[in-house]
Structures are given as structure tokens and as C-alpha cells.
Structure 1
């Protein structure tokens, strides 16, 4: 196992560390994360619109349009908000004006959407291109807008205002020429030449979205995240930067299916699949390990368990990952990696055969797992049972490794006590 960790440290860690710090992926991560409050609150309106209690469902049915309106303007415009956040973050990474980068990205993305004309002057924009279905286009357009902004500013192709002009006014004029390049460029491609950027980009990324909803698409991020954490790298940050657009696209399709009244949702593995059923207590489902620590014969593990149990219930597990430690610890790393693979397979097939409802709600990640799973599946009590089953499996997998590690620490603690005497 030590040889394996050395292999991971030499072969896997350097490229993954570079990947985590790559400015474009970091901008995608930060831009999408900035939309999470809107997505979480907006998705809760789905629960209000489609409550799991039949009596309440009948009661709210006449008011569905009104109830779903906040959802349509939050999660339904996910790509719109993300385009600004990604552009802002990427521009800041180049030490450019973040507001200019965000606004240019937003305008560029909106120009890719073909309007539906109502009359000679009025038009509507299709909502399906502004939510999760347009997320990949929003990412690409943010990259294009900010890179053009950077290219022009590095070559001083911009309006320079006198020093007496306030900074906010000067920055807005500095973005004038980039806007004059970007907006006509996208307008000609989409609206004059009639090139459908959305269809083109989605055809490119569709295999990734489809693969993300398969069993291998579930297991690959589980393995990568746990391997990276066990090697000392924040696995969710690295893998999430690449996978989160796929997860959100899958979630958006499930949300639209719920809003359309579908009984069985199309996708198994949006992000709540991992959050509530695999990462029970955080990556590696470590709250099961913390439970054993509470009864440990090792004074160190017992103290660590007491300090980690409340954060663990709220899915914060850095104290146990770095405190036990699990990181670079061959004894505890094995169940940390192996356990989520087993629960991931079980959960996938439970949802594949519709034994448990598929996720459609992005609940706050600090909720205890049974509550989060219940909300994420629209109020399916079977989701709570599955979480408890997965917790029991993780507890059983951790137990022999925990006892072996406990025995080692107890021997060390007794040896230190003997030396002091």
C-alpha cells in the first residue's frame, strides 16, 4: 500500500494538482459554485409545487404556475448566472476587470440564443437554452469573451481615459472595443449565418453527459475523489471542476421532467446522487468511521471522534481526514476508497430499477444525509432507508480496519505511558 501511495504521489498528484489550479477549470468551478444559493432555493419550489402528500398536491395544483415562477427564474436560468460568474472569475485570474469580463460573457452567451419572434419588435428567448441545457455553451462563451478581452488589452487595443476619470468609468470604456469585437462576431455567426452554437456544442458534450449517467460514469468520479483525498488533494475540488457541469445538466433534465409531471425521472446520477447516498458524512462516508471512534479504546481516536461527530453529521469531514489521518494512511485509506465503490454500485442499481426515486432537488449540503436524501428525491421515504443501509455497509467495512488502527495506536499510547513512568 505504501508503494501504491508513492505511485499516486509521483504519477497522479502532479497532473491533478496542476489541473486543480488550471485557471479555466478554476473559473468554471467558482462560477458555477456562485450560482448554488439560487439553485438550492429555486429547487425547493419544486417540493412546494409537487409535495409528496396527495392531499397537498391536489391543493396546490391550480397554483402551479405561480409556485414554479421563482424556480424558473433561479434554477431555470442557471446558465445565465453561471456565464457571468465564470467570466468574472476568469477575468480576475488574468488581473482584468471582473465586472467587464462577467458582463461580456453574459452578453456573448445571450447572443447565442436564437429568439422566437412574437411580432416585428417583440421576441421571447427559449428557457431551455438558459438553464442546465445551455450550461456548456455558457462555459465556452465565457472563455471566448474573456480571452478576446485579454488579447485586446494585452495589445493596448482599447480606449484609454485620462487619469482624472473615475476608475469605474475608465474600466467601462476599456471594455468598449472588446464589446465591439465580440458582439458583432457572435451575432454574425448565429443570427446572420444561422449557425446553431447550442446544438453544435451539446452534440460534442452529449457523450460525456450520457456517460456520466452510467455505472462507470458513477464509479470513476468516486474512485478519483477518494484516491485524491487519500493522497492529500481535495478530490471534490479537482473532479468537481470537470464533472459538475455534467451533474448539473443531468439534474436540470430531471427537474424539467418533474415539472412536466413525469413519474420516472430520466437520470440517475446528478450531484445529489453522490452527496446524499455515497458521501454520507463527507467524502468516503467517514461519519461511519467517526461513530466507531466514539467507542475507541484509544484516547486519541476517542477525542477525535467527539470533535468530529457534529461536523461529520453535517458532511464536514476534514477533521477526520487530516486528524486520524486517513490521508496517506494505508490502513484507513482502503475502506475509504473501497466502501463508496460498493455503496455507489448498490445505489445505482436501486435507482436503475426504480426501487428509490431519482434525485431532482439540490438540498443544502450541510443537512444530515437522511434529511437531504428525503428532500433530494422529492419526499421518497425509501431514500432514507437506502441511506441507512449504506451507512450500515460503510460501518461494517470500516470496522476491521478501524480495529487494526486502534490496536496500533493503543500500543503506541501504552508505550509512551510506560516511558513516562
Structure 2
């Protein structure tokens, strides 16, 4: 393991750090950290809803999530553009760039206007579904302001008052951004949300194969480490999941065997692939609880409750894993190893394939694993997978722990 740790420390991490330190990448990473309180608010409500599903007398706090994490894309549209200006040392544009970025994001969400003059927005595009679009809009806005700043228009002009110069230097990039955006949205009628979904649509042709299964688990994991919620990809994977479980239900009802492995029940409800949440972060959370680094120990103990119920936003953005070059890779590797092991376990009849529709991902494993597969062998698979995930996480965690200790010194 020492050789692996040395390779991570001496070869891999420095190269990845160069990527993460790029001002545009750093702007997105900084935006995610500043938006973390809103993400955590949504996660806490998800955690609360686990108990509410068993105690119906508890009040519904869904609106708290709707008006925090439910608006995360709007917040990110502002923050990404704002942080781009900060990282490019263009502080005079930070607020204006953020505000126009919000306007452009709302425009790209394809609003409708009725005869009463009301604007109609698709609410889910304001939340996790729109995070990638919000980031792209923020980067686009930042890019235009950055390019304009290189023109040095009206700089050092003593004949024009400073406030007029500031107005002009804000107005020109704003008009450029709006002209480009209105052309794309209203003239060309280009829906970027539908376009992004279309990029993933080929998966539906081979979703019930091993490569399809791996990609369905890996792609959202990669997006997650880049700060994009897996809800964006879920719209592409849902048809595969629904067709798969429906086929299994019908097969068992007809006296045949369930054959479709790629279902929401296998990926989420069983909590074998998503042990502790996407990326199988439960073993990592356990390591963090006993870490020598105070930061990791505290975060591990804070996050263990949600992790048991497979909610890991606090861990992903708090440790952090997102935009952390050392911790991103094991997150991806576990998202490959889990599906491969589950695929062969079910294909070789070492574990039953789920055939009941129970789409709840917040039941702790291995209880959920046994419940959905109706197979006690799920406990053995759980133990094996926990060990595999632990081994994958260990060398990367150790390197990151040393890094945290050095920073503390």
C-alpha cells in the first residue's frame, strides 16, 4: 500500500491539483462550497423525512427544502459568475456578473409567458436538475466579462466621470450576454436541458447490459464529484429502471424468473452499490470517525447519521470529496466495483434479483438489501462489498489525512 500512497502523493495529486487550481475550475469549486449551507438544508430535510415516513404525525417540512436546495441552481448561477470574477481578479464585476447570470439561467430554463403577463417556470429546473446548466451559464457569463475586461475600454479616461465609465463597462458585456442568450433561447428555440438529456439517451439502448449498468452508476458519480446532483442524470436512467422492474414484476407473476438487474431497486433500494450514498462512502465515513486529523474526525462524526441512511451530501461537500483530486478517484472506482460485483452475483444466482417495486433509498443496509432481494445472502454480499470499498478508499484516505495534518501544522 505504501507504493500506492507514494504514487498518489508524488505523481497523481500534483497533476490533479494543477487542474483544480485552474481559476475556472476553482470558481466552480468555490461556488459549491459557498452553496453548501443550502445543500445541507435539503439533506437535513431528507434525513428528517426518513423518520417522518414512519411517524406520520411529524409535520411536513418539504417547503424548507423547496426554498433552500430547491433553488440551488439559481444560487449557483450567481455564485459561479461571481467566483469567476473573484478568481480572475475582476472584483468590479462580481455583483453585476452574478446578477445577469441569474437572468440568463432563468432564460435558459425556457419560461413561458401567458396572456395575463405571468411567467411560468418549471420548478424542478431551479433545483438539482438545473445545476449543470447553472454552472455553464455562470462560466459563460464570467467568460464574456473576462474577455471584455481585456479590451480596456475607457480606462484612464479623465474626461468621463468614473461612474459613467463604470456604467458603460457593465452595460456592454450585459448586452452581449443577453443578445447571445436571447438568440439561442428565443430565436433558435434551443432547450439546453433537453439537449443534455439527449446526450445520455443512447444508454437506454444497452441499459440492461454490464457496460450499461456500470455507466448508469459511474456517470452520475463523476458528475457528483464535479458538484452536479445525480438528479440531472436520473431523468435519463429512470426509463431504464422502470422498464426493468416492470419486466421483473410481470415475469414473476407469470411464473418465470426476474432477469433485469438494472433497476432503481438494485442500485438504490438495496443500498449495496450506494452504501452510505452514491460512491459507497460509508466505509470512508467510518475511517473519518477515527482519523488523526481533527477536521476529518469531526466531519465523520457529524455525517455518520445521514450516511447510515445513505444520505451523503454533507460528506461529499463537507469532507470534501467534490473537487478534491485525491478523493474523487476512489469515489469513481467504487462506482465501478459495486455494479460489477452485484452484476456477477445476480447473474451467477448468488443473489436474488429484485422483483418488487420499492423505490426508497434511505433504508439502512443490510436490512434494505435483505428486504428488497428477499435473500439472506445479501448480508454476505454486503460484508464483501464493505471490505472492497474499504480497501479502495484506504490509500486515498491516508494520503488526504496526511495532507490535512500538514495543513493543520
Question: Is the structural similarity TM-score above 0.5?
Answer: yes
Deviation at 1:397, TM superposition (A): 9.6
| Aligned pairs for 1:288-307 within 5 A | 290=290
| Aligned 8 A contact 2:32 2:76 in 1 | yes
Which of 132, 138, 152 is the equivalent residue of 1:136? Answer: 132
Q: Provide the C-alpha distance between the structure 2 equivalents of 1:212 and 1:151, rounded to a whole number of angstroms.
A: 42
Cα deviation for residue 196 of structure 1 reads 2.1
Q: Secondary structure at the match of 1:38?
A: helix
* 1:152 pairs with one of 148, 171, 177: 148
Does the CA-based 8 Å contact 1:280-1:287 persist in structure 2? no
Q: What is the alpha-carbon root mean square deviation over aligned residues?
A: 5.7
Q: Which residue of 2 aligns with 1:185?
A: 180
- Counterpart-to-counterpart distance in 2, 1:244 and 1:212: 24
Q: What is the alpha-carbon distance in structure 2 between the residues aligned to residue 161 and residue 266 of structure 1?
A: 66
| Unmatched runs of 5 consecutive residues or more in structure 1 | 223-238, 256-263, 294-303, 318-327, 329-334, 361-372, 403-421
CA apart distance, 1:344: 7.5
The 3 A distance-change label for structure 1 pair 36 and 9 is closer
CA offset at residue 173 of structure 1?
A: 5.4
What is the DSSP-based 3-state SS (H/G/I as helix, E as strand, rest coil) of the residue aligned with 2:52?
A: coil
1:99 match: secondary structure: helix
Residues 2-401 of structure 1 correspond to what in structure 2 (within 5 A)? 12-45=12-45, 47-48=48-49, 51-53=52-54, 56=56, 67-97=61-91, 98-157=94-153, 174-204=169-199, 214-215=213-214, 218=217, 242-245=225-228, 247=230, 249-250=232-233, 268=267, 273=274, 275-276=276-277, 278-280=280-282, 282=284, 285-286=286-287, 290=290, 312-314=300-302, 353=354, 382=368
Q: Distance in 1 between matches of 2:150 and 2:6?
A: 42
Cα deviation code 1:329-365 (max 9, x no counterpart): xxxxxx99999987776789899848997676xxxxx
Q: Cα distance, 1:31 vs. partner?
A: 1.8
Comparing 179-188 with 192-201, greater Cα deviation is found at: 192-201
- Cα deviation 1:186-218 (Å, max 9, x = unaligned): 112211332223222332366799999943565
Q: Output the CA distance in 2 between the equivalents of 1:398 and 1:185.
A: 49
The offset of 1:25, in angstroms, is 2.4
Return the TM-score normalized by structure 2: 0.57
Separation in structure 1 between the aligned mates of residue 99 and residue 385 of structure 2, nearest angstrom: 48
Query: Could you say if the C-alpha distance between residues 164 and 214 of structure 1 is closer, same or farther in structure 2, counting changes exceeding 3 Å?
Result: farther
Moved more, 337-346 or 2-11: 337-346
Q: Secondary structure at the match of 2:282?
A: coil
Please give the alpha-carbon distance, in whole angstroms, between the structure 1 residues aligned to 2:192 and 2:35: 23
Aligned counterparts of 2:232 and 2:302: Cα–Cα separation in 1:
26
Q: Decide whether aligned partners of structure 1 residues 389 and 100 sit closer, same or farther in structure 2, where only a CA change above 3 A counts.
A: farther
- Would the aligned equivalents of 1:109 and 1:137 in 2 still touch at CA under 8 Å? yes
Question: Structure 1 residue 136: deviation in Å?
Answer: 1.9
In structure 2, do the counterparts of structure 1 residues 133 and 393 end up closer, same or farther at CA, with 3 Å as the change threshold?
closer
CA distance in 1, matches of 2:353, 2:335: 18
Q: Assess if the C-alpha contact under 8 Å between 1:282 and 1:315 holds in 2.
A: no
CA contact (8 A) 2:213 2:339 kept: no
Residue pair 1:267, 1:358 contacting (<8 A) in 2 also: no
Larger radius of gyration: 1
CA distance in 2, matches of 1:142, 1:268: 32
Question: Is residue 339–residue 397 contact of structure 1 (8 Å, CA) maintained in 2?
Answer: yes
CA contact (8 A) 2:42 2:68 kept: yes
Question: Do the aligned residues in 2 keep the contact of 1:114 with 1:125 (CA within 8 Å)?
Answer: yes
Partners of 1:146 and 1:75 lie apart in 2 by: 23
Partner of 1:417: none
